[in-house]
Structure 1
Amino acid sequence: MDLHEYSRYDAVGLRALIVAGEVTAAEVESAARRALDRVNPEVNGLASPVFETALGHAGAGPFGGVPFLLKDSGPMAEGVEFFAGSRSLRGVRARHDHDLTRRFRAAGLAVLGLTTAPELGLSYATEPARTGPTRNPWDLARGVGGSSGGAAALVAAGAVPMAHANDSAGSVRIPASCCGLVGLKPSRGRTPTGPDSGDPAFGALAEFALTRTVRDAAHLLDAVQGPGVGDKYTAPPPPRPYADELGIGPGRLRVAVTVRAWSGVAVDPEVAEVTLKTAELLAELGHDVTEASPALDWEDVVHGTEAAEAAIAAPFLTAPGRPDPARLEAVSRALLAEAAELSALDLVAMLDAQNRVSRVVGAFFTGYDLLVTPTLGELPPPHGTLSSGEEGHTLRGWLEKLFAHGPFTVVFNLAGQPALSLPLGHSVGGVPIGVQFAAPYGREDVLIRVAAQLEEAVPWRDRIPPCFASKP
Structure 2
Amino acid sequence: MADERVHAFGDDALGEHDAVGLAALVRSGEVSAEELARAAAERARKVDAALEPVAFAAYGKPVARAERSAPLYGVPSFLKDNVDLRGMPTGQGSAAFRARPARRTAGFAVQFLGTGLSVLGKTRLPEFGLNASTEYAAADPVRNPWRTTHSPGASSGGSAALVAAGVVPIAHANDGGGSIRIPAACCGLVGLKPTRGRLVANEQGRRLPIDLVTDGVVTRSVRDTAAFFAAAERQHRNPVLPALGLVEGPGKDPLRIGLLIDSPTATADADTRRTVEATAARLEAMGHRVEPVELPFGRQFQQDFTAYWGFIAFLIAATGKLMHDPGFRPGRLDGLTSGLRRGFQREFTRLPGVLRRLRQMEQPYEDLFRTHDAILSPVLAHVPPPLGHLSPNVPFDELIERLHHYVAYTPVNNVTGGPGIALPTGATAEGLPVGVHLSAARGQERILLELAYALEADRPWRRIQD
TM-score between the two structures when normalised by the length of structure 2: 0.91
Q: 1:18 to 1:222 in 2, by over 3 A?
A: same
The equivalent residue for 2:458 is 457
Q: CA deviation at 1:195?
A: 4.6
**Cα separation, 2, equivalents of 1:208 and 1:187:** 10
Q: 1:227 to 1:293 in 2, by over 3 A?
A: farther
The equivalent residue for 1:306 is 307
1:15 equivalent to 2:56? Answer no
The equivalent residue for 1:63 is 72
Q: 1:170 to 1:2 in 2, by over 3 A?
A: closer
Q: 1:276 to 1:123 in 2, by over 3 A?
A: same
Query: Any idea what the Cα deviations from partners look like across 1:32-73, whole Å, max 9, x if unmatched?
Result: 01110111211111113444311242241221111111111x
Q: 1:9 to 1:228 in 2, by over 3 A?
A: closer
The equivalent residue for 1:98 is 106
The equivalent residue for 1:470 is none
Partner of residue 362 from structure 2, selected from 349, 358, 363: 358
Q: CA deviation at 1:341?
A: 6.6
Q: CA deviation at 1:411?
A: 1.2
The equivalent residue for 1:331 is 336
SS at match of 1:246: coil
Q: CA deviation at 1:417?
A: 0.8
Q: 1:441 to 1:400 in 2, by over 3 A?
A: farther
The equivalent residue for 2:263 is 261
Query: Any idea what the Cα deviations from partners look like across 1:339-387, whole Å, max 9, x if unmatched?
Result: 56765x5322111221243332221111110100011111110010012
**Cα separation, 2, equivalents of 1:309 and 1:53:** 39
SS at match of 1:8: coil
Q: CA deviation at 1:193?
A: 2.0
| 1:421-436 superposed matches below 5 A | 421-436=422-437
Q: CA deviation at 1:390?
A: 3.7
The equivalent residue for 2:402 is 401
CA contact 1:126–1:149 (8 Å) conserved in 2: yes
Q: CA deviation at 1:84?
A: 0.9
Query: Any idea what the Cα deviations from partners look like across 1:141-169, whole Å, max 9, x if unmatched?
Result: 11101111011111000001010001111
CA contact 2:376–2:437 (8 Å) conserved in 1: yes
Q: CA deviation at 1:225?
A: 3.8
The equivalent residue for 1:203 is 211
| 1:64-463 superposed matches below 5 A | 64-72=73-81, 74-129=82-137, 131-195=139-203, 198-200=206-208, 202-225=210-233, 236-241=240-245, 243=246, 245-247=247-249, 249-263=251-265, 265-311=266-312, 313-318=314-319, 319=322, 320-321=325-326, 323-339=328-344, 343=348, 345-391=349-395, 393=396, 398-460=399-461, 463=463
CA contact 1:145–1:380 (8 Å) conserved in 2: yes
CA contact 2:185–2:436 (8 Å) conserved in 1: yes
Segments of structure 2 that go 5 or more residues without pairing to the other structure are: 1-8
CA contact 1:190–1:226 (8 Å) conserved in 2: no
The equivalent residue for 1:469 is none
SS at match of 2:135: coil
**Cα separation, 1, equivalents of 2:424 and 2:236:** 31
Q: 1:91 to 1:249 in 2, by over 3 A?
A: closer
CA contact 1:304–1:352 (8 Å) conserved in 2: no
**Cα separation, 1, equivalents of 2:367 and 2:306:** 20
Segments of structure 1 that go 5 or more residues without pairing to the other structure are: 467-472
Query: Any idea what the Cα deviations from partners look like across 1:70-93, whole Å, max 9, x if unmatched?
Result: 111x22112321211111211433
CA contact 1:187–1:235 (8 Å) conserved in 2: no
Q: 1:121 to 1:112 in 2, by over 3 A?
A: same
Aligned-pair identity (%): 33
Q: CA deviation at 1:458?
A: 1.1
Query: Any idea what the Cα deviations from partners look like across 1:268-291, whole Å, max 9, x if unmatched?
Result: 111101101111111110111111
Q: 1:7 to 1:408 in 2, by over 3 A?
A: farther
SS at match of 2:56: coil
Q: In angstroms, what is the RMSD of aligned CA positions?
A: 2.3
Query: Which piece of structure 1 moves more, 143-152 or 2-11?
Result: 2-11
| 1:461-472 superposed matches below 5 A | 463-464=463-464
Q: Which amino acid aligns with 1:378?
A: H
**Cα separation, 1, equivalents of 2:146 and 2:116:** 30
